[in-house]
Amino acid sequence: MMSLRRTAAIVRKEMLHISRDPRHLFLVTLSPAFLLFLLSYIFSFEVHQLSLAVLDLDRSPLSRRYLASLTADRELRLTHAVDRYEAILPLLVDGQADGALIIPPGFAEAIQRGQPAQIQAVVDGTDPFAASQALAALSSRSGMFVAGTAGQPVRSKPIEVRSQVWYNAGLESLLSMVPGLLAIVLVMPTLALALALTREKESGTLEGLMVTPISGPEYIAGKLLAYLGTGLISTILASLVAVLWFRVPFRGSFPLYLLLAGIYFLACMGVTVLIGSFVRSQQTAMFAVLLIFIVPSFFLAGLINPVSTESLPSLLTSYALPTTHFVQISRILFLKGLGLAAVARPALILAGMGPGALAISLCLFRKKVA
Amino acid sequence: MLVRISTLIVKELTQFRRDWLLALFILLAPALQLLLLAQAIERGIHEQPLAVLDLDRSRLSRQLVLSLDNTRELRLRFYAGSMDQVRSLLDGGQVRLAVVIPAGFARSPQQIQVIADGTNTVAAAITMSAVSGVVNRFASDLAAGYGLVMPELIDFRTDTRFNPTMNFRDFSIPAQLGFITYQVTLAMASLGLARERELGTLEQLMVTPLHRFELALGKGIPAMAVGALNFAVMWLISLALFRMPMRGSPLLLAALTLLFITAEVNWGLLISAISRTQQQAILFVFIQAMVDIALSGFIVQVRNMPALLQALSRFVPLQHYLVIIRSIMLKGAGWEELGPQATALAALSLAAALLALRTVARRVE
């Protein structure tokens, strides 16, 4: 039978541990806020500037005007002027330029006669994002230049695309990244739990506890509650950084967010308790959390690229990661400001994960004792 | 001296025999992770769900819808009946983008409306530009039908170097290789001394004739071996299974990889030397790993960062190494091009080694 008093004793013991060591206190309360602060700056990329090398073989006023028109919106920068074709490749190889533009002799003449002028663009395809961005920017700026120069009025497009962006009207990446990153940095409380569970095994204090009347489930519940509590405190602190420092609007209900964060912690921590029953050293626990939660979360949780539906193994992994669901919840509550109904699916999945994993580890634990 | 170091190495390796789960994580997980991540980021952003509210219901509007569905980026999932339904589809996240075709579109095709879900800005930007592309082509096909052909005055010839098909996998796999090697090496090296100190066995080691330099070597060599082994296995997987190109010299790649691993081991030893407990060391490693992923240019190009962060990224060995491995594998770069990166790695490695040795000395005496 589980005793509330004994569980509370474990919670108190854990709190004492935490409050005594300032570094541990930082890990469980402030580290998510600190990481969010740091990572948000790096991930909120707005303008991609691309640098181009130019080989202008025409050297006419028109070609110079054309080149100047390319840099008008500062997306493209002309960083290198070269005088031979051979000089281009080395610039691409060591990454000094993303691409190169070659204007052939007779460029101005052709344009003035209204004939097509050939321009050659060489881009570094190593980074497909940058390469396709460079090509798109080049062709759209060139189109505008030609439309302006050839004396024709800029033809109005027959079909106008009127775009609206909902939930993030300015399409600001900071607003989308900060709520997403919150889900990732909130893995830190789980790490704290993983270390707390294995440290007692490693230092031998677990055996001491086991001879007291405290039972296995009480011990686990006590640890879980302690880190759930500090996790919620760290959620509040990190959310404050998001709202006050980064000025991300919080449009949903914050008590609901805290409740769902609790369910998210329970899911992560349930999986950790399950793994923890096999793990004996803190080093292994660290590897487990790093390889199971942190690294896949950056790539598979839909933080930057949406969850890929094309490959089954990666789809399954994405769904098995608690972070994927909390990235969704976090963005919906911060930006869309909807209620419980909108987050029901991810919330239910998370709510199933925690108790599920805990039940399995309880069964395993029983077997070990028996 | 050699005997003493090798005894220490053997001692380090017996740890694996006792903790089989640790061995499993260190030797198998990296290769598994490569397989998984390489699959997931193979294709970039494709097949994003789209809803269409067609208020025109004409042949022309259906043609437009069909050409939207024919792009790689978009997949038509819902025909919405009303604006309310569009809103609920976007709210619920069932679609990422909605296109509204107004009534009367077939009579005068002038305007369509696009509504994007801005909660993920990357996906929003890519899907919106896909729609613009489709609509532009659709419009010029229409204009061509009316005989309003606009001459193409600039004829663009494009030539994509190094990765002509712009395959996203070729871009990301070298980075994954570097990154996975990085985490395993750092995690291995950073706990060695801290663990001994926490368990109280460091004092015992100190009363043996081991010099602190030998101690560092004995701790560092197993970590280097684990890192190198992991790298070799993953490199072979990426060539055999993912058909990655290898345009540069394998020897140069091996040499610079070893230099990179050494730098990370030295850095790990430094973390290990300044932490009093394993928990502290792990805290350092985690924060370091997150910051390093972010600053390495793996997810965000270094060029696009604010100036201060760009300067900071010069001190991240992983950032230099990602340039090295991508340049060698994809661009066939040689020693001349990679001199600056190699020098930076060597300098960072040396600095960390000197700091680590000094800290160990101070901590022990």
User: In whole angstroms, what is the distance from residue A234 CA to residue A245 CA?
Assistant: 16
Does A85 contact chain B (CB < 8 Å)?
A: no
**pLDDT at A370 (0 to 100):** 39
Mean pLDDT of A240-265: 93
Q: What is the average per-residue pLDDT within B237-255?
A: 89
Q: Is the pLDDT of residue A367 over 60?
A: no
State both tokens at A358. Answer: 């805990």
Q: What is the CATH number of the domain that holds A144?
A: 3.40.1710.10
The structure's pTM equals 0.80
Given a cut of 60, whether residue A252 has pLDDT beyond it is yes
The larger pLDDT score, comparing residue A283 to residue A64, is at A64
**Residue A342 covered by a domain:** yes
CB neighbourhood size of A237 (10 A): 16
pLDDT at A155 over 50: no
Count the Cβ atoms, other than its own, within 10 Å of residue B275. 23
Count of A–B CB contacts within 8 Å? Answer: 329
For range A155-162, the mean pLDDT: 60
Q: Is the pLDDT of residue B154 over 70?
A: no
For the stretch B310-365, pLDDT in tens is: 888 889 999 999 989 988 888 888 888 888 899 999 999 999 888 888 877 665 55
Of A166, A181, A202, the one marking the end of a domain is A166
DSSP E strand boundaries for chain B:
48-54, 74-79, 97-101, 111-117, 154-161
The kind and range of the H/E element at B178 are helix B168-199
Answer yes or no: do A106 and A206 share one domain: no
Instruction: Tell me, yes or no, whether A223 and A355 share the same domain.
Output: yes
> Under 8 Å CB-to-CB from B160, ≥6 apart: which residues?
A122, A123, A124, A125, A131, B166
* Span B67-126, pLDDT tens digits: 999 988 889 999 999 999 998 888 888 898 999 999 988 888 788 899 988 888 878 888
Residue A157: which of B44, B139, B305 has the nearest Cβ? Answer: B139
Looking at the domain assignment, is residue A12 inside a domain? Answer: no
Q: Which domain-ending residue is among A115, A143, A166?
A: A166
Same domain, A113 and A234: no
Q: Least CB-CB distance to A287: which of B22, B135, B301?
A: B22
Instruction: Check CB contact under 8 Å for A94 and B337.
Output: yes
Instruction: List the alpha helices (DSSP H) in chain A.
Output: 4-20, 22-25, 31-43, 61-70, 88-93, 107-112, 128-149, 173-185, 188-203, 205-210, 216-240, 254-276, 282-289, 295-300, 312-320, 322-331, 344-369
Q: Is the same domain home to A156 and A250? A: no
Query: How far does the CA of residue B55 sit from the closest CA of chain A (Å)?
Result: 16
Position A24 in a domain: no
CA-based nearest distance B213→chain A, Å: 24
Percent pLDDT > 90 in chain A is 22
Residue A34 C-alpha, separation from nearest chain B C-alpha, in angstroms: 9
Number of domains in chain A: 2
Inspect the interface and report whether the beta carbons of A287 and B187 lie closer than 8 Å.
yes
Q: Average pLDDT in the A279-294 region?
A: 81
CB B270 within 8 A of CB B359: yes
Answer whether residue A20 shows pLDDT above 80: yes
Structure tokens at A189: 């409380």
Reported as half-sphere exposure (CB side, CA atoms, 13 A), residue A70 has a value of 25
CA distance A87 to A53: 9
Token pair, residue B28, equals: 């198998």
Chain A hits for B287, Cβ within 8 Å: 31, 34-35
Choose the closest CB to A42 out of B37, B159, B309. Answer: B309
Q: State how far the Cα of B223 lies from the Cα of B260, in Å rounded to an integer.
A: 12
**What is the amino acid identity at position A29?**
T
Q: How far apart are CA B205 and CA B108, in angstroms?
A: 86
Q: Is A301 among the domain residues?
A: yes
A300 and A161, same structural domain? no
Residue A17 lies in a domain: no
Same domain as A230, residue A298: yes
| Residue to substitute from B56, B112, B160, B179, interface A, most A β-carbons within 10 A | B160
Tell me if A294 sits within 8 A of B289, measured CB to CB.
Answer: yes
- Collect all residues of chain B within an 8 Å Cβ-Cβ radius of residue A38: 290-291, 294
State how far the Cα of B156 lies from the Cα of B159, in Å rounded to an integer: 10
Choose, out of A21, A291, A321, the residue to mutate when testing the contact with B (most B CBs < 10 Å).
Answer: A291
Residues 207-266 of A with CB under 8 A from B: none
Model confidence at A46: pLDDT above 60: no
Mean local confidence (pLDDT), B173-193: 85
Question: What pLDDT does B261 receive?
Answer: 94
Query: A152 lies in which domain range?
Result: 50-166
A159–B138: do the CB atoms touch at under 8 Å? yes
Select from A217, A231, A189, A234 the least CA-distant residue to A359.
A217
Put simply, whether A54 touches B (Cβ < 8 Å) is: no
Cα separation, B26 vs B184, whole angstroms: 7
| Distances, alpha carbon A210 to alpha carbons A194, A213, B312, B328, in Å | 19, 7, 48, 56
Both A217 and A111 in one domain: the answer is no
Contact between chains at A308 and B120 (C-beta distance less than 8 A): no
Task: Return the half-sphere exposure (C-beta side, CA atoms, 13 A cut-off) of residue B211.
Answer: 8
A56 phi, psi to nearest 5 deg: -100, 105
Domain ranges of chain B: 12-41+167-363, 46-145
Measured in angstroms, the CA of B132 and the nearest CA of chain A are apart by: 7
Please report whether residue A152 resides in a domain: yes
Q: Residues A76, A148: one domain?
A: yes
The domain boundary residue, chosen from A166, A181, A201? A166
With an 8 Å Cβ cutoff, are A159 and B111 in contact? yes
Based on the domain organization, do A181 and A141 belong to the same domain?
no
Whether A316 and A178 map to the same domain: the answer is yes
- CA gap B336, B334 in Å, rounded: 6
B46-145: CATH topology is: abc type-2 transporter like fold (3.40.1710)
Cβ within 8 Å of B, A 99-138: 111, 114-132, 135-136, 138
pLDDT tens, B262-305?
Answer: 999 999 888 888 887 887 888 888 888 888 888 887 777 777 77
Residue A134 lies in a domain: yes
* Same domain, yes or no: A86 and A227: no
Q: Give yes or no for residue A152 having a pLDDT over 90.
A: no
Do A364 and A277 fall within a single domain? Answer: yes
- Tell me whether residue A9 is in a domain: no
